[in-house]
Amino acid sequence: MGTRTSEVLKEIEQIRDRLDANLVELETRMPPIARLGRKAIGIAVGGGAGSAALLIAVKKIRGGKDERKAKGREDERVIVQPAPVVVKLLPAGAVPVAVLAVATWAGVRVTEAWLSRMGGRSGSRDAVVRPLPARSTG
C-alpha cells in the first residue's frame, strides 16, 4: 500500500510541475497580448481625439475667414442674391459626435488591417492546451 501511495504522490508532483511550467509559459505570452490591446485602444482614442481637434481647428479657421470677408465688403455695393438652400442631414449638436464615431471606426479598421498584415510576425504564438493523461484505475 505504501508503494501505491508514493506513486500517486509522485504523479501528483509531476502534474503540479507540468502545470507550473505551463502557467509560466502563459505568463510570458500574456504581456505582448495585453500591450497590443492597449495599443489598439490608444489608436482608437487617439484617432477620435485627433479628429475632434481637427474639426475644431477647421471650424475656427473657416469662421475667421468669413469675418474678414465681411469687414472687407463694408464699403462695397450690396448685391442681393437668392439664399442658398441648405439641407441639414444631422442636427447641429450631432455633427461632432458623428465625426468622432466615423474617426473611431476608421481607427479600428486601420488597426485591424495593420494586425492582419502583421500576421504571424507579432512574436506571440497560439496557446495550446493539452488534456491531462488518463490515469489507470487499477
pLDDT tens per residue across span 18-44: 988 888 887 777 766 666 777 788 888
Flag whether 129 is in a domain.
no
Total residue length of the chain: 138
User: Which three cell numbers mark 81?
Assistant: 442674391
pLDDT digits (tens, 9 = 90+) for 67-90: 555 565 555 666 777 777 777 776
Flag whether 110 is in a domain.
yes
Angle at 10 between CA 9 and CA 15, to 5 degrees: 95
Flag whether 86 is in a domain.
no
Q: Look at the chain and report how many structural domains it folds into.
A: 1
**Domain coverage including residue 16:** 2-75+93-120
Its pTM stands at 0.28
**Whole-number Cα distances in Å, 92 to 20, 48, 88, 98:** 59, 19, 8, 11
Which pLDDT value is given to residue 65?
57
CB neighbour list of residue 99: distance below 8 Å, 6 or more residues apart: 51, 52, 55
Flag whether 136 is in a domain.
no
